[in-house]
Chains A and B, each alone.
Chain A
Amino acid sequence: MRLAAEHWYWRGHRRQVCIALVATLVAGWPASAWAQEWPTKPVNLIVGYGTGGGVDQMARALSPKASEDVKQPFVVQNRPGGGGAVAAISVKAAPADGHTLVLTTSTTFTFDHHFAKADFTMDDFRHVAIIGQFQEVFVSHPSRPWKTLQDAIAEAKAQSRDLKYASFYQLDRVVTALLAKQSGVKITPVPTQGGAGVVNAVIADQVDFGFTGGTWGPSVSSGTIKLLASAPRDPLKSQSQVPTLRQLGYDVETEVFVTVSVPKDTPEAVVRKIEAVLKRSASDPAYAKFCEEMLQVRYLNLGEADTKKALLQQSERYTKLVAAVGTP
């Protein structure tokens, strides 16, 4: 673990720099004749969440790589609030010259507007990269007799009682509303303060189970909580034996990417450069290792075309999901 960290921060980047130079010479040279130079000054990486959280740590892991690549500092600035909305609004208003990027979760653009409308839409940005995906899970106190979420729901059904769970935010409420609809068991969310609040409530056994996308790894490996199900389509990277919601027969999934976006009027050539820099920076195996081992985040490294497609699909899916269960 410690070695990995050293690897990540200390290692030389000769190879990447060489590739970068060659790439610039081959591809960038003719382009730069007419395109704006980028970057001509430090690049602001505006993070939609507070310091110390998973999104912030990914930004801070990536920025030294990117800084070294372009020979200009990538400055991480946290502008938390409204699930990334505050950061998105401020970047929307920033000059579209590629020196202000917003790093937040895909739900900022694809989901949150169903509940609290903010002054921007997905189309105000060009979404340049996906650099990871959170792996949301259902967890319970180890003393509960259940192996999977299905057992919990079956027990509640047999005893004709409700289930109460520690909720992370609106996304899980929509998901559990659908689970309730499909299973006929009432599932009541108990709001908590962030991912830590969920883990607290589960460890103290105040609720039947909890939903969290945050760092559940330490508590699971120390045995103070156990995994009942994972919510994304693909099984967990580290614990593939844990069933997904789909494997348990529920027709629903969560999908929360970590994305990097720029204002929509950013020149094409600059967008290409940003995309290339992010792609190279996130290619470092130490970054992947950091995401998966420290944060339980699935490592992804997608460019603009894939990101755009993924976000459009996600937006459509969430719209359907919300329509199916209705907003509270």
Chain B
Amino acid sequence: MEAVIAGFSAALTPSNVAFVALGVLLGYVVGVLPGFNRPTALALAVPLTFYMGPVSGISFLIGISKGSATGGAVSAILLNTPGEASSAATCLDGYPLARKGRARSALLIALVASVFGDIFATLVLIALAQPLSRVALLIGPVEICAVLLFALTFIASLSGESLLKGLISGFLGILLGTVGLDAETGTPRFTFGQAELFDGLPLMVIAIGLLALSEMVVQMEERGQLQSTPLAAGGDRLRMDEIKACMPVILRSSLLGTVLGVIPGLGASVASFLAYSWVRSTSSTPERFGQGALEGVAAAEAADNAVVPAGLIPLFALGIPGGIAAALIIGAFMIHGITPGPLMFLNHAHVLNAIYASMLLAGVLMFVFGYFGSGLFARLAQLPLSVIVATVVFLCIVGAYIEGGTMFGVYLVLGFAVLGWLLRKFDFSYVTFLIGFVLTPTLELSLRQALILTDRNPYSLLRHPIALAILAVTVLAVWRMASRRRDVTRLATS
């Protein structure tokens, strides 16, 4: 308790509060703008932290990470353009809400879920970093592979009307997820000699094309009827009972985001899509999803934001860099002569406590900025649709150019806009497509790692009880879904 108070007193100095606020604000703006992503913002910010104290420096960087995770929802909801790749899942219900005139409600529920997910995971980090990081070490490629196989079964439950169509677009996503150099042999696959494709298709560009740009094409087809979004009857207010109804979803998704965040290498995109799929497939009214369900937004955002602090658990406790953002934060620690890892808890406990306090402060500041931001941004939804379409098309092209690095990104985004338009026209699910695409690279890598590590011997799975349990659940889930579907068809035919 004393440590906590000491941490807060170190964190609540005016200069530290200012740096945390600056970080969150910067991250929020970066998150809102498609084309500027978190790693870039962090890389640019790291040199600035050289001149700050360790607490301010690290908190500044963490503030950017947190702020960008929150900000990503804004453009996802208002423009169907994910500001960060991980907010692509937020588009699925956020944008339909905005079209219904409930932009502000969608932004607010996203904010509530973000802040809750963030603070939840931060508290888990503070309380359980060391024991949880040891659990994370038990999760190897075999277990990750099992989790992702289980996740693939969501494709079936998210297919909507036609299972066949859902599977077709899911497999199309999987197929496109295999583009790039083979992880094991370095052999180019479906790259057509284009070096831009060696590292695979960029998720961000695909999400922009598939979700935002194709939607704009659909809007433009209804020429002559372009009009601004109507205000919801009686104005758009997020009611208390709606927040209450979303709370179980937010809690579940925060938990899922925290668990997935602790495992190095899974990332926020996988987590937000899984949370969305989980909530949608277990809902008693799954047909509302995709049409503007507040729960859908809440699930994606809570998980997305929980990943950020949870990802710091292996970093703080063991010095494991989960990804490029974590590697940059390690660098910032090193500048100040602190090495992340078990010893940090002994030798630099006071710094760590102050960082924890700053992280909680960042959560609160996220809410403040987000609250005012959403009031401001929600008005954008009332702009004439002709203005919105033009702006979004512009943002899509610029974002794709920056993300893709070259004109190649622009060609890709146009190509995927066409694909997205076709999927919509012929009623194929782009949700299952995205899930297939998001999961495949990690699934393939972990599968091939698992095959090597187990010597391709199925009996060695016995040494991986966690993986076995998840695989059993997977089989059960498939069986249940199949039998449920049989029932549905039987009912339909009788």
A80 lies within 8 A of B199 (CB): yes
Which one, A52, A81, A200, contacts B264 given CB within 8 A?
Answer: A200
Most buried by B among A82, A88, A195, A328: A82
Provide the bound-state CA to CA distance between A109 and B331, in Å.
29
Q: List 5 A-B contacts (CB under 8 A).
A: A80-B199, A81-B405, A90-B405, A219-B341, A222-B340
Closest 6 CB pairs of A and B: A82-B198, A222-B341, A51-B43, A85-B195, A5-B50, A115-B186
A39 at the interface (CB under 8 A from B): no
- Residues of B445-485 at the interface with A, using a CB-CB cut-off of 8 Å, are 445, 448-449, 452-453
- Interface positions of A (Cβ within 8 A of B): 1-2, 5-6, 9, 50-53, 56-57, 60, 77-83, 85-86, 88-90, 115-119, 164, 169-170, 173, 188-197, 199-200, 203-207, 214-215, 217-219, 221-224, 294, 328
B101 at the interface (CB under 8 A from A): no
B9 at the interface (CB under 8 A from A): no
> Which residues from chain B contact A53 at a C-beta distance below 8 Å?
324, 327
Provide the bound-state CA to CA distance between A283 and B11, in Å.
39
Provide the bound-state CA to CA distance between A222 and B340, in Å.
8
Provide the bound-state CA to CA distance between A53 and B406, in Å.
20
> Which residues from chain A contact B340 at a C-beta distance below 8 Å?
218, 222
A1 lies within 8 A of B337 (CB): yes
**Chain A interface main SS type:** mixed
A196 lies within 8 A of B323 (CB): yes
B326 lies within 8 A of A196 (CB): yes
> Which residues from chain A contact B452 at a C-beta distance below 8 Å?
164, 188-190
Provide the bound-state CA to CA distance between A55 and B150, in Å.
37
Question: Shortest beta-carbon distance, A145 to chain B, in Å?
Answer: 20
B324 lies within 8 A of A52 (CB): yes
B342 lies within 8 A of A328 (CB): no
Provide the bound-state CA to CA distance between A204 and B44, in Å.
31
Which one, A52, A80, A193, A214, contacts B265 given CB within 8 A?
Answer: A193
- Interface positions of B (Cβ within 8 A of A): 39-40, 42-44, 46-47, 50-51, 136-137, 140-141, 181, 183-188, 191, 193, 195-196, 198-199, 264-265, 314, 318-328, 330-331, 333-337, 339-344, 405-406, 445, 448-449, 452-453
Which one, A2, A80, A203, A221, contacts B335 given CB within 8 A?
Answer: A2
B319 lies within 8 A of A196 (CB): no
Closest to A89 in B: B195
A191 lies within 8 A of B196 (CB): no
Which one, A116, A194, A218, contacts B330 given CB within 8 A?
Answer: A218
Provide the bound-state CA to CA distance between A11 and B253, in Å.
49
B183 lies within 8 A of A191 (CB): yes
Provide the bound-state CA to CA distance between A88 and B140, in Å.
36
> Which residues from chain B contact A206 at a C-beta distance below 8 Å?
140-141, 453
Question: Shortest beta-carbon distance, A173 to chain B, in Å?
Answer: 8
Provide the bound-state CA to CA distance between A164 and B339, in Å.
28
Which one, B39, B191, B319, B325, contacts A224 given CB within 8 A?
Answer: B319
Provide the bound-state CA to CA distance between A287 and B477, in Å.
56
A203 lies within 8 A of B137 (CB): yes
Provide the bound-state CA to CA distance between A78 and B324, in Å.
14
Question: Shortest beta-carbon distance, A300 to chain B, in Å?
Answer: 21
Question: Shortest beta-carbon distance, A265 to chain B, in Å?
Answer: 21
A215 lies within 8 A of B330 (CB): yes
